[in-house]
Structure 1
Amino acid sequence: MSDSLDANYAKAYGGKAGFGTSPALLMIDFVEAYFDPDCDLFADVDDALQSALRVREAAHKVGIPVILTNVVYQDGGLDGGRFFEKVRPLRNFLRGNPMGDWPRGLTPTENELVISKQYPSAFFSTSLASTLTAMGVDNVILTGLTTSGCVRASCVDSMSHGFITTVVRDACGDRHSEPHEANLFDMQAKYADVVSEEEIIAHLNVL
Structure 2
Amino acid sequence: MRRKRRGASALTDDLSENYAKAYGHKAGFGKRPALILIDFAHAYFDPDCDLYAGVDAALASALRVREAAHAAHVPVVLTEVTYQKGGRNGGRFFEKAMPLKAFVKGERTAAFADGLVPREDEIIVSKQYPSAFFGTSLASTLTAGGHDSVILTGLTTSGCVRASCVDAMSHGFTTIVVADACGDRHPAPHEANLFDMNAKYADVVSETEILAYLKTLSASRAEARA
Runs of 4+ in structure 1 displaced over 6 angstroms? none
- Listed as ranges, the matches of 1:61-100 within 5 Å are 61-100=71-110
CA deviations 1:32-79 (Å, max 9, x no partner) are 000000100000000000000000000000111000001000121111
Q: 1:161 aligns with which of 152, 157, 171?
A: 171
Which moves more between the two structures, 100-109 or 46-55? Answer: 100-109
State yes or no: 1:34 paired with 2:44: yes
TM-score, length-scaled by structure 2: 0.91
The letter for the 2-side match of 1:136 is G
Taking the aligned partners of 1:150 and 1:33, their CA distance within structure 2 comes to: 14
Distance 1:38 1:194 in 2: 31
1:132 maps to 2:142 = yes
Shift of 1:99: 0.3
State the TM-score, normalizing by the size of structure 1.
0.99
Deviation at 1:177, TM superposition (A): 0.1
1:11-44: CA deviations, max 9, x gaps? 0001111001000000000010000001000000
Instruction: Point out where structure 2 has 5 or more consecutive residues left out of the alignment.
Output: 1-9, 218-226
Aligned match of 2:209: 199
1:53 aligns with 2:63: yes
Once superposed, what is the RMSD of the aligned Cα atoms? Answer: 0.7
Matched residues in 2 for 1:86 and 1:168: separation?
28
Q: Does 1:182 pair with 2:192?
A: yes
1:142 to partner: Cα distance: 0.1
2:86 alignment partner, SS class: helix
Tell me how far apart the structure 1 counterparts of residues 119 and 47 of structure 2 sit (CA, whole Å).
Answer: 27
Query: Which SS does the other structure have where 1:165 is aligned?
Result: strand
Secondary structure at the counterpart of residue 87 of structure 2: helix
Q: Deviations over 1:151-192 (max 9, x none)?
A: 000000000000000000000000000000000000000000
Instruction: Specify the structure having the higher radius of gyration (Cα).
Output: 2
The SS at the match of 2:176 is strand
Letter in 1 for 2:146: G
Gaps of 5+ in 1: none
- 1:104, CA displacement in angstroms? 1.2
Distance in 1, matches of 2:149 and 2:69, equals 13
Identical columns (%): 70
Could you tell me which amino acid in structure 1 is paired with residue 171 of structure 2?
H
Local SS of the residue matching 1:38: coil
Residues 99-114 of structure 1 mapped to structure 2, 5 A cutoff: 99-114=109-124
